[in-house]
Structure 1
Amino acid sequence: MSCIELHQMKTCREEEEPTKRRSFADKFNLFRASTGEFFAALFKPRSSNPDGIDHSRDGNSGSVVVEDERPQEPQPRKTVLNAFNKLGTAFIGSTAPRTPSSDAVPEVVTTRAEDMAGFLNGSKVLSPNFTKRYKLGRLLVEGRFAFVMTATRLTDGRKVAVKFIDVDKIPRNTWLPDRGSATGGYVPPEIAILQQLDHPNIIQYIDHVVEPTKYVLLITELHGSDWQRASSSSTTLGGDDGVTTCTSFDLFECIDHRLPDPVARKIFAQIALAVNYLHANGIVHRDFKDENVVVDSNYNIRIIDFGSAAPIPKSQRAFFAQFQGTALYASPEIVRKEMYRGPEDEMWAVGVLLYTMVVGGSPFHSDAEILEGTVRMPRGFHLESDKDYHGGCRHLIQRLLDCDPETRITIEEVLEHSWLKKEVEFYQTAYQSSHMSA
């Protein structure tokens, strides 16, 4: 082979695999790192785990603790030979095989506002697992750890709500088994909890999609009516980013000054039945407030946003230490930073909610007022049921906002309260008839 041919072959190789020449300092740093790995592999005791992946085990059961349902890429075993090869190449300067350019696209980090705008204007695309079955609509609401958009199911045109859950905000050790998957896997607790719930006043789980990026999409029924006035039916977020929101469906917008006594009773009876169902199934919502109750034009409600929901602790050692709700709905024991079980705190929260419904404002505006626990009604305020103090709405509010969790009314007692009992019985009969016909 001639010198010209050799030169041409060398030139072609350099064009196909361009490499950056390492300086002596670069080679020395690589040599130092490779030397450490070489001796670590040389003196490392033989592992009983052949795949090289650290499987953490539960201290009580000894079973494998799975924190991420995503399959891990197989890692090369750290043998003396592999380490020695790295040590040798530190000064030789050979390079690893190049990956195809399509796989080398760097991940672009975007903000939530950029993601929302991108999904709305089409510049950001979801995976085919979603787009083959749903078409995105408009933005509904944005929360601390997620935002919600409307969508249309392509098979039947049904309108649904899609909650974009940021997986980076949900600790992996809290993820629960996916009940809807035949192959196993883990999902954020909100999805796992909704999968096991079935009640007319709790938002219905439909589906979920695990995106290859940072989101898990929770798909539920879309319930409620537009309560905002026409002049404020939509608002723009962030100025010129083009992100618009739909009209709100929640109880916060439904309450215009205050609700009449019969309407408040109708709505609160459904809330109480949903709370009773949750507690009977060992679940606490932990973030009851008007914004987490969606209402339609017939005042039929659904409880939404189970992002803070959790199983009721079975022992005092497992009581909750961290508050997950909204400050003005916090009970005195939470304000005092005490450990709490959940159901008792939940009753306080629905008491604040009932007061807000009938009065049109919050009963407390600071931690000091919550700790004092004095429930004050506006001057001149009265309810239709006030003529029977011990059986009216005001009496139920007082029992719910009892500062002592030991004597605070329970959800079973709420359902039997004279102000609510007939409405509760009406819905119980309607639910049983609906269940039997189904």
Structure 2
Amino acid sequence: MMKIAYAFRPFPANYKPTCDATLPAPINWNRPIQTSPSAPLVNAKPQATTIFVNGVSYTVVRLLGEGLHSRVYAAYDPRTTQSVAIKVVQNLDSVDSQGHSKMFFKEIRYLTKLQPRNPYVIRVYNHEFDSKSQTGKIVMETGHDFRFLLPLQAPASEKKMSVPQAKFYWQQMVEAVALLHRNGIVHSDIKPENFILTQGGQLRIIDLGLSFRLPQSQASVLRPFAGTPEYMPPEVCQIQNGQYSHQGRASDIWALGVLLFEMIFGYRPFEHVQDNYDKMSYIARLKHTPTIPPTTNPYLRDVLKQCLQVNPVRRPSADQLLQHPFFTNQ
């Protein structure tokens, strides 16, 4: 089955970004809060306002978002008043090698492994799996996802960034991906929603549920199709046998290119194709690099062209990107 990740919109559509990355006011979600691990996610009633993880109590502030099997809460640790985000995933099976159970346990493994190795990976403070209730919980640092700087419904003229501002954020994103790749991990779903800005202004990469291991000696692997169409390269959109596609480190590089394109020009190169399946078909048939609008910065144009090469073999690695004149020439 195809897994398509859709953009989560945690901030109002009319929010206007500013150059100093001012954070918007909290949203009144008016959503029921439910934290009992054994209760179903649907038709939840506001009963408890505390989530326990390994015996530590966290006070829930509000619901941030939810999926088919999971919810993410804004909360804080009353011992330290530290703000946290808590991901609660239900209906987990520790012996299930497929679906959301596999994604949860894999994400825990990758996040804990990468804590001391990648300063751009979201910090994990606590986590547990309760086999009796089949519930998993991850307590992480909180922040505002990067989408708030690129509001989906805002006109391009209002959300495009200056080159210095885009370079500041994009360099951190490339460094984050480079560190993942050095540790043998492909993220597989690079997009604004999967980066957050912490209260201290640090950029972090999040959501490793679709990520996978790839040996340095191997360029790509044929695996079940998954991701977000707007940021998918041609090789991922070229579905084989109904559900498989080639994915590798070069797929993350394409997505980084789309992200930089969006930051600079205020729109994504394929958003004129509305339907997701039509979009994937369009990208899969690409023969040439997507059209890049005029820019007076030759280094910007070149780095976009390199990232958005249709042939994944011709795209640079993340480490090579960090040496590009777009970064090294002031």
- The number of equivalent residue pairs is 267
Q: Which residue of structure 2 lines up, in the alignment, with residue 303 of structure 1? A: 205
Counterpart selection for 2:62 from 119, 138, 145 = 138
Percent identity, aligned pairs only? Answer: 27
User: 1:262-319: per-residue Cα shift (whole Å, max 9, x none)?
Assistant: 1100000000111110000111111111111112577531111111122115776992
Q: Tell me how far apart the structure 2 counterparts of residues 127 and 295 of structure 1 sit (CA, whole Å).
A: 26
Q: Which residue of structure 2 lines up, in the alignment, with residue 20 of structure 1? A: none
The residue matched to 2:230 in structure 1 has which SS?
Answer: helix
Gaps of 5+ in 2: 1-36, 151-157, 274-278
1:220 aligns with 2:140: yes
**AA matched with 1:208:** H
1:350 aligns with 2:256: yes
User: 1:85-136: per-residue Cα shift (whole Å, max 9, x none)?
Assistant: xxxxxxxxxxxxxxxxxxxxxx9873x343xx43xx2258755745x43112
1:284 aligns with 2:191: no
Aligned positions of 1:294-373 closer than 5 A: 294-296=196-198, 300-313=202-215, 319-337=221-239, 339-364=245-270, 365=273, 366-370=279-283, 371-372=285-286, 373=288
How far 1:143 sits from its partner (Å)?
3.6
Alignment check: 8 A CA contact 2:58 2:77 kept:
yes
Counterpart selection for 1:206 from 121, 125, 130 = 125
How far 1:209 sits from its partner (Å)?
2.4
How far 1:153 sits from its partner (Å)?
1.3
Alignment check: 8 A CA contact 2:198 2:204 kept:
no
Gaps of 5+ in 1: 1-106, 176-186, 224-248, 424-438
**AA matched with 1:411:** A
1:195 aligns with 2:112: yes
User: 1:142-164: per-residue Cα shift (whole Å, max 9, x none)?
Assistant: 24553211111132111111011
Q: Which residue of structure 2 lines up, in the alignment, with residue 419 of structure 1? A: 326
Alignment check: 8 A CA contact 2:53 2:137 kept:
no
Counterpart selection for 1:163 from 84, 87, 90 = 87
TM-score of the pair, normalised by structure 2: 0.72
Alignment check: 8 A CA contact 1:316 1:341 kept:
no
**AA matched with 1:361:** Y
Runs of 4+ aligned residues of structure 1 deviating over 6 Å after TM superposition are 314-318
Structure with greater contact order relative to length (CA < 8 Å, sep ≥ 6): 2
Alignment check: 8 A CA contact 1:163 1:219 kept:
yes
Q: Tell me how far apart the structure 2 counterparts of residues 329 and 414 of structure 1 sit (CA, whole Å).
A: 18
More helix per residue: 1
How far 1:331 sits from its partner (Å)?
1.1
Aligned positions of 1:71-82 closer than 5 A: none
From the superposition, tell whether residues 252 and 124 of structure 1 become closer, same or farther in structure 2 (CA, over 3 Å).
Answer: closer
User: 1:314-340: per-residue Cα shift (whole Å, max 9, x none)?
Assistant: 776992321221112111111112542
From the superposition, tell whether residues 209 and 298 of structure 1 become closer, same or farther in structure 2 (CA, over 3 Å).
Answer: closer
**AA matched with 2:266:** G
